[in-house]
Amino acid sequence: MFTLRTTPTSPFGRKVRIGAAVLGLQDHLNLVPADTLDPADTLRHQNPLGKMPCLLLEDGTPLYDSGVILEFLQEQAGSTALVATSGLDRYRVLTLARLIDGVTESGLLMVYEARFREPEHISRRWLDHQRGKVERGLAALEATPPALALDLAGIGLVCALGYLDWRKPVAWRPTHPKLVAWLESMRAQFPIIDATKVPEGA
């Protein structure tokens, strides 16, 4: 049994929850909430960056970040469902997954700008800089949406779009019809997507 430090709202934690389900390992994860703002939370000892998700092995060994955890779980499952273990295809999927995670990270930084700064100190320039990354990333994904599969890239995109829908740092839906259709097809095909969405009222 592994311990996963995360919350039901974390997009990166959601990646791990979906990946574990794809690999048939969901019953091997004990979810323990983390509070990234609480200096007393043990998370900061487990991951000095104080970020979630963080996976704790039975001997207490911490693994992070979400991409590392997913590759570890894939190896535990003896699977290659998320990403190939070698070859150019592996690096294509890893690069796509990093692009997608970058979209989530920039969206997160836009939300944090408002959360961590007093309103008069919010930097429009910084917000625009991060928005540019989100918009360029989404434009590339709209031009060529990933396969309809819950591999590393597909899982990441489900969680990226879910985060943008929830926190709304950018309004992506009106300008990305192919991604809207992609997400709808994915939801219809994989019930785990709706099963892991941010709870109502969170």
Ligand X SMILES: N[C@@H](CCC(=O)N[C@@H](CS)C(=O)NCC(=O)O)C(=O)O
CA distance 24 to 76: 10
Q: Is 196 in the site for ligand X (CB under 6 A)?
A: no
Contact 161, 183 (CB under 8 A): yes
* CB-CB neighbours of 140 under 10 Å: 13
Binding residues among 77-106 for ligand X as defined by CB under 6 A: 101
Stretch that binds ligand X, among 24-32, 46-54, 74-82, 120-128 (CB under 6 A): 46-54
Size of the site for ligand X (CB under 6 A): 14
Q: Is 71 in the site for ligand X (CB under 6 A)?
A: no
CA distances from 65 to 74, 100, 148, 163 (A): 14, 15, 24, 17
Nearer to ligand X, 66 or 179 (CB): 66
Q: Is 130 in the site for ligand X (CB under 6 A)?
A: no
CA distance 80 to 107: 29
Nearer to ligand X, 40 or 88 (CB): 40
- Tokens in use for 156? 């990441």
Stretch that binds ligand X, among 9-17, 138-146, 168-176, 180-188 (CB under 6 A): 9-17
Q: Is 8 in the site for ligand X (CB under 6 A)?
A: no
Tracing tokens 């969170």 back to the chain, one arrives at 202
- Tokens in use for 27? 């019953």
Nearer to ligand X, 37 or 88 (CB): 37
Q: Residues interacting with ligand X, by CB under 6 A? A: 10-12, 36, 50-53, 64-67, 101, 108
